Chains A and B, each alone.
Chain A
């Protein structure tokens, strides 16, 4: 276990406060945000830090989330460390700019307080909002508790500024955002040692004028000096390559963080009771913590159940997951999202990760907890029990997921 060399400072923080503390400790320079439930207290907290002078940053109370992300991308292009936070419709409204931030390779960090999308209106938790932004080119990290929220935001800057890919730190609305937990808040000195000021490789400057995001043709094209430069597709390839390779950075940053702060983040997912398990539950964010309770119940009944808690959804850790799941005979995936007409997003990813491996595991997918529907550990345990026969006989998979709801 890594050595812990800082004084601990345990405070009772809800998830929004933990995120705000994380941004403050990261010494963000430009914050742009628009209030939306359940993110609102986070942005209020940050504006208070700035107005009281506790955080030297420009706080822009923009008129929309589209503008919030635009302020971040443009401020990033002149060399500032930027932060924003949003939920649900706000994230959907940002969609165009999420592509723009990733496409321009800007190290913006965004806290997404996960909430359901309308219609109809619903302000409560599920993960449909961030999952719907899966293909925008952002790294996505899901926190399981408030400590992870704070820690992940600080790490997110180091990751983003290393690989030049924006990072979304997601955490479940209300379940985490409005629930207080003890959080070890590191000192500014320690965070400064971990996270140096942002040094962009290039910025907008009249002394060395560059034109960013110009129209780029499909094919490579010569510059004025006769050098062949990338076409649009090569730029897209480089973004994919950056995401693919970012796993190493996420792990090394997590390792370094652990050495300084005593909390290790060297895996893109966490495991519980996996070694002897022939049944493995997979879930993401705080949902995995609920599943942990179900695991206890099922273990008490004599079932050999393990748990995989997904922390990093993009890049998706396919090889590592396939390895971790190689002994499983039954994989039960709980999703707080649905790709309509198909299945839960994490279930699709797990199946994709296992293709070509030696795994003969049956996979079952349950959609749970949409729009704030309470997810009870008892229901998760019931769901696992209901699909136990799949281990012995029957199809390896089903075409569509089951839902834990009243229909």
Chain B
């Protein structure tokens, strides 16, 4: 049965009244992730906004068992939980590692890569708010080109982000997906699917950050949707090496009507100083990636769909 707003379990594992900022996409995503795992989960969390969501001793806002672990160690912590459960013969629990983009793309990539190479049996979710938001918005390996942050305060970031999902794909994982907090049911379905698969499963979740990116708290969902509609964020999954566009990205690919990146940039204060040259570079980066995804998408084949794959359909 496909998930919809009515048939989602009513049980809440991430309780309201937590310490996240207003309009936090992570809170929305986490709520659906825990529902998808039916609470039968042990979570490991490095230093991140999720630490803040979880609360301060002796009060926590979640009803699942959790260990907080140092920044660089998430993949290893998940490994240890899996090994410990196996050694003590406890079955039926999912181990969930949940880290931000700094904890994944940057300081945590070694332990994540090591665990993925060993094919450790856990789900790793990177929630990506494109910077070190817990420490007040500094540049990370996932911050987009042109964004003003605390450590790119004048010139904006001068590099594109690294493609973490592609890096994880190079580890030949059984399941990789990208998702977006603005599409919680798609996220829910992907976590459910991941739950039924063995091995290291990686899900990248786009989570807009209102205070860090400087947009109104009420616009979180719209910003997330616009990121997909402009092709900056592409929703897909790679299951045993087979690549499929999913959800809104799939229908966009079929219709061929991506919006312009500059429409997305105009919604956020962090891009207020972006140059024309940088906008061009960003659009070019989006177009190149999008074309690559279209060519790979198994669900857009056979050739009857090829007419829609003409690169000229994308606005430059």
Q: Do A and B come from one complex?
A: yes
Q: A160 near B: Cβ within 8 Å?
A: no
By beta carbon, the residue of chain A nearest B56 is: A215
Q: A32 near B: Cβ within 8 Å?
A: yes
Q: B227 near A: Cβ within 8 Å?
A: no
In the complex, number of A-B residue pairs with CB atoms less than 8 Å apart? 167
Question: Which of B68-121 touch A at CB < 8 Å?
Answer: 68-70, 72-73, 75-81, 83-88, 90, 93, 110-111, 113-114, 117-118
Q: Which residues of B lie under 8 Å from residue A204 when comparing CB positions?
A: 42, 65-67, 81
Contact of B79 with A60 in the complex, beta carbons under 8 Å: yes
Q: Which residues of A lie under 8 Å from residue B68 when comparing CB positions?
A: 211-215
Question: Which of A212-239 touch B at CB < 8 Å?
Answer: 212-217, 221-224, 229-230
Q: A120 near B: Cβ within 8 Å?
A: no
Contact of A67 with B56 in the complex, beta carbons under 8 Å: no
Q: A100 near B: Cβ within 8 Å?
A: yes
Highest count of chain B CB atoms <10 Å: which of A58, A61, A74: A74
Q: A175 near B: Cβ within 8 Å?
A: no
Question: Which of A29-77 touch B at CB < 8 Å?
Answer: 29-30, 32, 57-58, 60-64, 66-68, 70-77
Instruction: Contacts A74-B78, A211-B60 given; indicate if A79 touches B88 (C-beta within 8 A).
Output: yes
Q: B307 near A: Cβ within 8 Å?
A: no
Contact of A206 with B77 in the complex, beta carbons under 8 Å: no
Listed in ascending order, the chain B residues whose CB lies under 8 Å from chain A are: 39-42, 44, 51-52, 54-60, 62-70, 72-73, 75-81, 83-88, 90, 93, 110-111, 113-114, 117-118
Contact of A224 with B67 in the complex, beta carbons under 8 Å: no
Listed in ascending order, the chain A residues whose CB lies under 8 Å from chain B are: 29-30, 32, 57-58, 60-64, 66-68, 70-80, 82, 96-97, 100, 204-206, 208-217, 221-224, 229-230
Contact of B81 with A77 in the complex, beta carbons under 8 Å: yes
Contact of B75 with A209 in the complex, beta carbons under 8 Å: no
Find A64's partner among B57, B78, B93, B114 (CB 8 Å cutoff). Answer: B114
Q: What are 23 A-B contacts with C-beta separation under 8 Å?
A: A30-B84, A57-B87, A58-B84, A62-B79, A66-B73, A66-B76, A67-B110, A71-B76, A72-B80, A73-B80, A74-B69, A74-B81, A77-B80, A78-B88, A79-B84, A204-B65, A206-B42, A211-B60, A213-B68, A214-B68, A215-B52, A221-B58, A229-B58
Find B73's partner among A58, A67, A215 (CB 8 Å cutoff). Answer: A67
Find A80's partner among B52, B64, B66, B88 (CB 8 Å cutoff). Answer: B88
Contact of B69 with A62 in the complex, beta carbons under 8 Å: no
Question: Lowest 5 A-B CB distances belong to which pairs?
Answer: A74-B80, A63-B114, A75-B84, A67-B76, A78-B84
By beta carbon, the residue of chain A nearest B68 is: A213
Contact of B73 with A97 in the complex, beta carbons under 8 Å: yes
By beta carbon, the residue of chain A nearest B94 is: A206
How close is A260's CB to chain B, nearest CB, in angstroms? 26
Contact of A67 with B114 in the complex, beta carbons under 8 Å: yes
Highest count of chain A CB atoms <10 Å: which of B44, B52, B79, B110: B79
